[in-house]
Amino acid sequence: MKILIELPSWLGDTLMATPAIENIISHFDDAKITFIGSKVSIETLKLHPKVSLTKIINKNYFEFYRTAKTLGYFDVFLSFRNSFRSNIHKLFIKSQIKYQFDKKKYINRHQVEKYNDFINDSLNLNAPAGPLFLYPKRLHSNNKKILGINPGASYGSAKRWYPEEFAKVALALSSDYDIHLFGGPNEKDIAGEIEQLFNSLGLKNFKNYAGKTSVNQLIELISQVDLFITGDSGPMHVAASFNIPTVAIFGPTNDIETSQWKNEKNINIKKNLSCQPCMSRTCPLGHHNCMRLIKSTDVLEAINLIEV
């Protein structure tokens, strides 16, 4: 049997789909599994031991049509994407049985549960959503403990906490931890601001990896940290997959739906304002209080509650 799975586009969504993907693989025990998806999603899961083939797809419909022809026929096609483009993609796939995630059907629950319910409904299963999965498993550093800081968020500026507050946390912990800054190519500016603050504070024991790593390198580096401070982001879910003690800072997004999944050493910080969650990329009220009111002392107090 041949199974084709179209992965979500983003790092965080891809990781939140992994419990459902494990249930697919368990259900079709000896099937040949193929993943298709964005470069980020494929890089994230290409080392899965049960997957026989992966293909990166781009936004060009003709190129996708050519890719679909080379893939051949599948017994079952399951797509975790819900967009106009994925609807078109589905037409090109050769399979009599096709299932596609419908975000309007699955609401008011964690994204992991939404994806898992979609698979249960599609395949007539009753499988629970297990933990997030990543391969290979976690690495450990033998040196001084590492504090990972992920200040960016690809969704928009409203999700970003302030560089000076990150710097205050790092300064308070710098005698116990080396500090690693993480971020994608679009997050080099905020990481650079924090680096400048570190320099002004006289901090020397840090490395700035923002915009300098592949997805796999980012995952490997995060797997080595001992404590992670982050906004609502893809790297936050990487940390969750390794059960890394994490303080996650939530502003405009919904922590009920996108917080870390099954990480017992996780604390979310949010102010529970009447305007939360607005789900906006920039603050529609202009004050950004959901992030502005969170201070470094809030994060340091949360760290004291986590068993690191």
| Domain shared by 153 and 299, yes or no | yes
Give yes or no for a contact between 184 and 217, defined as CB atoms under 8 angstroms apart.
Answer: no
Whole-number Å distance between alpha carbons of 102 and 51 = 25
Query: What are the distances in angstroms from CA 224 to CA 61, 72, 159, 228, 276?
Result: 39, 40, 25, 10, 33
CB count within 10 Å of CB 302 equals 18
Collapsing DSSP states into helix, strand and coil, what is residue 75?
A: strand
Structure tokens at 271: 């102010």
Arithmetic mean of pLDDT, 131-143: 78
Both 152 and 298 in one domain: the answer is yes
Chain segment 209-245, per-residue pLDDT in tens: 999 999 999 999 999 999 999 999 999 999 999 999 9
Residue 77 in contact with residue 93, Cβ under 8 Å?
yes
Cβ-based neighbour number of residue 41 at 10 Å: 27
The more confident residue out of 208 and 187 is: 208
97 and 202 inside one domain: no
Task: Identify whether residues 38 and 152 lie together within a single domain.
Answer: no
Based on the fold, state whether residues 213 and 266 are members of the same structural domain: yes
| Chain position carrying tokens 């969704």 | 155
- Encoded tokens for 185: 């190519």
- Please state the pTM of the whole predicted model: 0.95
Distance of alpha carbon 125 from alpha carbon 59, whole angstroms: 33
Domain boundary among 63, 90, 123: 123
3-state secondary structure of 180: strand
The reply to whether 11 and 118 lie within a common domain is yes
User: Is 139 or 38 the better-scoring residue by pLDDT?
Assistant: 38
- Residue at 130 is within a domain: no
Query: Tens digit of pLDDT for each residue in 42-51?
Result: 999 999 999 9
CA dist., res. 33 & res. 53, Å (int): 7
103 and 155 part of one domain: no
Residue 135 lies in a domain: no
Q: Residue 99 falls within a domain, yes or no?
A: yes
Q: Running DSSP on this structure, what letter comes out for residue 20?
A: H
Average pLDDT over residues 34-45: 97
Residue 51 amino acid letter:
V
In a domain, 128, yes or no: no
Query: 73 with 171, same domain?
Result: no
Q: How far apart are CA 244 and CA 25, in angstroms?
A: 26
- Where in the sequence is the domain holding 267, given as residue range(s)? 146-305
Q: Are the C-beta atoms of 253 and 232 separated by less than 8 Å?
A: yes
CATH assignment at residue 247: 3.40.50.2000
175 and 252 both lie in a single domain: yes
Domain count, the chain: 2
Same domain, 117 and 152: no
